Amino acid sequence: MPQVRLGLLVLGVAASPFAAAQTDIRPGLWNMSVEFSVPVPGATGCAISGKTASSGHLEFEVKCEGIFAIGGHGSVDYTPDALQGTVNLDFSLGDPKAARRTGSASRIAARRVGDC
């Protein structure tokens, strides 16, 4: 999953009706920054699950299948006009019985810049 797709996935989760029901996230134009340090070719079927939210905070799990399987946890704090969060991932490389594991930490920040 490329850098921007992961960031958009997290922004989509934070802006989803589930999260928005807790604290309104204002629709409009957003400026987003994503730092992701590991390329992830070979990961397929990526999904977010286990979403739990409280006022201004969202936690979730990330899982991708494939030869480059990924699993991890994300956390986002948000207001109606800004959000920031982290996604920590573990990667399995190759055959699951002899897999090498590595990890990454991503930072996501976004702020609302105006109306559409």
Question: Residue 2: what pLDDT?
Answer: 42
What average pLDDT does range 90-106 have in this prediction? Answer: 70
Q: Is the pTM here over 0.85, yes or no?
A: no
Q: Are 13 and 73 in contact (CB under 8 A)?
A: no
CA pair distance 41, 30, nearest whole angstrom: 27
Question: Residue 50: what pLDDT?
Answer: 93
Tens of pLDDT, residue by residue over 99-115, are 566 778 888 899 999 99
HSE, side-chain direction, 13 A CA sphere, residue 29: 4
CA pair distance 89, 37, nearest whole angstrom: 11
Tokens of 17: 């009706």
Domain boundaries, the chain: 3-114
Question: Residue 19: what pLDDT?
Answer: 47
Tens of pLDDT, residue by residue over 23-80, are 578 889 988 887 665 556 677 788 889 999 888 999 999 888 877 778 889 999 999 9
CB atoms within 10 A of CB 52: 10
Question: Residue 48: what pLDDT?
Answer: 85
Question: Residue 18: what pLDDT?
Answer: 46
Question: Residue 65: what pLDDT?
Answer: 83
What average pLDDT does range 74-92 have in this prediction? Answer: 89
Question: Residue 106: what pLDDT?
Answer: 84
